Amino acid sequence: MGKTWEQLEEYQPTVLKMISNSIKKERVAHAYLFEGSRGTGKKEVSLLLAKSLFCLNRLDEKPCLECINCRRIQSGNHPDIHIIEPDGLSIKKWQIQALQEEFAKTGVESNRKLYIIEHADKMTSNAANSLLKFLEEPSRQTVAILLTEQIHGMLNTILSRCQLLSFKPLQPLVISSQLIEKGYSPSIAHLAAQVTNNVDDAIGLCEDEWFGQSRAIVLQLYEVLNQRPTYGLIFLQDKWLQHFKEKSQLDYGLDLLLLLFKDLLYIQVGDEQKVIYHDQLETLKQQALQTSGRRVLEQVSAILESKRRLGTNMNPQLLMEQLVFKLQEG
């Protein structure tokens, strides 16, 4: 069935409002460029726009999602809608030429035709120039939707012929709600939603046993810092550095630790709704009472500084040892 108008509106309210206005006023552009990072809903919105334009039972701007046209668009077999993806690493000139030939024919079921070009920035220069000619002579009944994660890789001449719609990174709350809907536990869903702004990546983290173990190890380190400070360096050797072996993994570990200390700040200012480690709320409340806001800010700063230094070639063990000392100070 695909995502509904309301679901995508939650993702990208500005984009959906602009599309809604253009459909209502019958001012649909002949070419759109949807740009934004991966997982922000560009493909879903392009299919939704296609459904709106071809739907047999549209209500205002919203497609019914049930008619034969809506269903065929969702399953990818509507004869007047064409989707082009890179052939290997790039979109070739022959792909654009084949599209032009297809569009030279009359629409199979209506006069309207629509094409979607995924990763439009990956067109070869010959392909981009072929498309440019196509865009310069638009048919009234043809709609082009170009999708890109790398707008800087697009020709300015193509950009100037498209209506640009920018897709914003998804809010953590939107991602975590989706993950919980899919059956993932709230504790891991809230965490995954904080460290990526991409639903697919967040799902990958929820299903990764390593990520679940990371959460447990971060909580263990926090407990060690508070309850058994003399055991801190041993814990680093035995558990932390054994788990977070790669730089990218250690960066995740620091992110998860940072969120835990931010939770303390939220509790101290009475904003418990923003707490990520919600299943640890009672323990964190006790800790928040025993420390000052200034101290927690110093600890947050120390973790941020460690993240920055991780980007240099500093030894991870030394970096973590210094961080543990700073988190235990005071």
Summarize pLDDT for 134-144 with one digit per residue, the tens. Answer: 887 767 688 99
Q: How confident is the model at residue 330 (pLDDT cuts 50, 70, 90)?
A: low
Which residue intervals of the chain bear CATH 3.40.50.300?
A: 5-166
Q: How confident is the model at residue 210 (pLDDT cuts 50, 70, 90)?
A: very high
**Which of the two residues, 312 and 50, has the higher pLDDT score?**
50
Q: Give the pLDDT confidence score for residue 106 in this predicted structure.
A: 64
Query: Among residues of the chain, what percentage have pLDDT more than 90?
Result: 69
Q: How many Å apart are CA 276 and CA 290, to the nearest integer?
A: 20
Q: How confident is the model at residue 19 (pLDDT cuts 50, 70, 90)?
A: very high
For residue 172, pLDDT beyond 60: yes
Which residue intervals of the chain bear CATH 1.20.272?
A: 208-328
Task: Tell me yes or no: is domain 208-328 CATH 1.10.3470.
Answer: no
Phi, then psi, of 12 in degrees rounded to 5: -135, 70
For residue 107, pLDDT beyond 80: no
For residue 133, pLDDT beyond 90: no
User: How does pLDDT run across 26-45, given as a tens digit for each residue?
Assistant: 889 999 999 998 888 899 99
Q: Give the pLDDT confidence score for residue 173 in this predicted structure.
A: 86
User: How does pLDDT run across 68-88, given as a tens digit for each residue?
Assistant: 999 999 999 898 999 999 999
The residues, any chain, with a CB within 8 Å of residue 76's CB and separated by 6 or more, are 83
Q: SS3 string of the chain?
A: CCCCHHHHHHHCHHHHHHHHHHHHCCCCCCEEEEECCCCCCHHHHHHHHHHHHHCCCCECCECCCCCHHHHHHHHCCCCCEEEECCECCEECHHHHHHHHHHHHCCCCCCCCEEEEECCHHHECHHHHHHHHHHHHCCCCCEEEEEEECCHHHCCHHHHCCCEEEECCCCCHHHHHHHHHHCCCCHHHHHHHHHHCCCHHHHHHHHCCHHHHHHHHHHHHHHHHHHHCHHHHHHHHHHHHHHHCCCHHHHHHHHHHHHHHHHHHHHHHCCCHHHCCCHHHHHHHHHHHHCCCHHHHHHHHHHHHHHHHHHCCCCCHHHHHHHHHHHHHCC
Q: Give the pLDDT confidence score for residue 5 in this predicted structure.
A: 84
Which homologous superfamily is 5-166 in? P-loop containing nucleotide triphosphate hydrolases (3.40.50.300)
For residue 322, pLDDT beyond 70: yes
Q: How many Å apart are CA 123 and CA 95, to the nearest integer?
A: 10
Query: Among residues of the chain, what percentage have pLDDT more than 70?
Result: 97
Report yes or no: 119 and 43 within 8 Å, Cβ to Cβ.
no
Q: Give the pLDDT confidence score for residue 223 in this predicted structure.
A: 93
Phi, then psi, of 84 in degrees rounded to 5: -110, 130
